[in-house]
Amino acid sequence: MSLDGYIARRNGDLDFLAIDKEGEAVMAEFFSKIDTTIMGRKTAAGWAKMRASGEIPETPGMANYVVSRRWKPGKREGFEVVSGSLKAFVGKLKRRPGKDVYLGGGGELARSFLQEDLVDELFIGLSPTLLGDGIPGFPSKFPQRDFKLTECKSYSDGSVGLRYERLRTKRSR
């Protein structure tokens, strides 16, 4: 994410994110702790394109879900498209044995997860770049959610990795 809160340029381009050996190691460690991804239609289309070009590797054993109102539910390009209640879907995923679940992308799906209070942890990588415009990581129109910083790491390229845990108290909204 850029310093000003964008996860991509307006056209979806991620060219401002520098991926070096250190970044690859951080991402490999992160993905070793998950076995399920959830993303929206636009993010899934971008991932499918990057996977086809070899920019991101295949992920055997990873369950990849797309939440979409436009795409018909079922298998599609390495993803399973789902629709319906997010709470019911996430509850089902949490009851099964396995690793963590990763919500990728931003936009409407991120807002929906925050509205439903389905985000337990945030892992935010901040790139030392101001874009000025783009796709926001956290679009507006969701209730306040409180988090506690659990990890902060700086990297040689000037980026920072931040990990936050959701605080659920009587004051949480």
The structure's pTM equals 0.84
Q: Is residue 46 part of a domain?
A: yes
Mind spelling out the 3-state secondary structure of 65-93? EEECCCCCCEEECCEEEECCCHHHHHHHH
Q: Is residue 36 part of a domain?
A: yes
Q: What is the CATH number of the domain that holds 154?
A: 3.40.430.10
Residue at token pair 């931003």: 106
Q: Is residue 173 part of a domain?
A: no
> Which of 167, 10, 9, 37 has its CA nearest to residue 102?
37
Q: Is residue 17 part of a domain?
A: yes
Q: Is residue 172 part of a domain?
A: no
Total count of domains within the chain:
1
Angular region, 16: left φ>0, alpha ψ -120 to 50, beta rest: alpha
Q: Is residue 145 part of a domain?
A: yes
Sheet holding 100-104, edge to edge: 74-76, 79-82, 63-67, 34-40, 100-104
Q: Which tokens belong to 38?
A: 């959830």
Q: Which tokens belong to 49?
A: 């394109």
The confidence score (pLDDT) of residue 57 equals 66
Q: How far is CA 85 from CA 6, 68, 91, in A?
A: 27, 11, 10
The confidence score (pLDDT) of residue 28 equals 83
Instruction: Walk along the chain (173 residues) in steps of 10 and give the mean pLDDT of each run.
Output: 93 83 83 90 78 70 90 88 93 92 85 93 94 91 94 93 90 52
Q: Is residue 64 part of a domain?
A: yes
Could you tell me the residue range of the domain that residue 143 belongs to? 6-166
